[in-house]
Amino acid sequence: MTGHGCDQCGARYESPDDGCRQRFELLLALDHSRQEPWGSRHGSAFAAFMLQHPVGRAREVLERCWLLLYRVWVAGDDPLAVTQALRDAQGGAPPHLTAPPLPPGAVEPRSFPITIADLGDFEPRDYSRLLEAWCRATLEALGTS
Residue-wise pLDDT tens digits, 87-137: 888 766 777 888 999 988 888 888 999 999 999 988 899 989 999 999 999
* Spans of all domains in the chain: 4-142
Distances 120 to 3, 19, 74, 140 between C-alpha atoms, Å: 16, 12, 25, 21
Instruction: Check: pTM over 0.85? Answer yes or no.
Output: yes
pLDDT band for position 2 (cuts 50, 70, 90)? low
pLDDT at 36 over 60: yes
Helices marked H in the chain — which ranges? Answer: 20-32, 42-52, 59-69, 79-88, 124-142
